[in-house]
Structure 1
């Protein structure tokens, strides 16, 4: 009798159960601090100055100060004196030439009847006797520009990784089973 040897083989089955890992990324907001120094404008201005000089007008109205009036009288008398000397010299020259027609004593001294006037103690009258001066100065400007200071504190990102699960196990082991043929023992 022949028997057939039976071989039964079961393959191994490996089971893998895997879940992927997860990333968690978070980043806190940056902190921004802004500080501002305001600009400043300083303006310094001085008052305008008005100067009125009426000394020439006063001199024309009433002679001005006593010193000015005396000076004008003195210089005027000096001028009149020099003019009188010049006139007398001219008359003397004409008298020396008495033989010429028109140089008689009556003609030379007879016509000199005008009195010598006293010098004018007042100054000359003019529309421009009052001096008006208006002095202004430009304002001084000091400007300081505004300043802006910005500080940023940034935060690094926070990264967390959670590993996934990985289970590897044998769901079925490999096996080989031999079944021998039946042996008849009756023989």
Structure 2
């Protein structure tokens, strides 16, 4: 017995895709830069320092000062020296007038005269380490600085960009299809 047989065959569609990546190249160059800075203006002014040394007191202490100053110092002592000598003569007169004294007044006076110190001070100043006077006044320095501004010029250079576009191809690699066939079928075969 022959029967009819229905055969359905199907093929699916297939899509094909081909792609190529894009390529990009960039070349960037340094820009042109110029920096200028004029010199700053500087003005300096100064006053000289002053050094004063006064050694007159040291020379005077060494008795090597001005002659008139030394004489003046000696003469200024004369009044007191005269009064002291006068007082000493009065005392010696009293000593000689004292007849009750068993000692020899003239011998005592002569002995004291041998060892007497002079009443005149021949050293005008006392020698000392600080007889020289030094005074120092430092000078002044005036500084005036006027700064200058920095001038910067920059010229940029555009980068060179090259792009090779990519490619994307989409296509139908296999078509879809359905085939329906009716065939006879022999059951016993």
- When normalised by structure 2's length, the TM-score is 0.44
Structure with greater proportional strand content: 2
TM-score (norm 1): 0.44
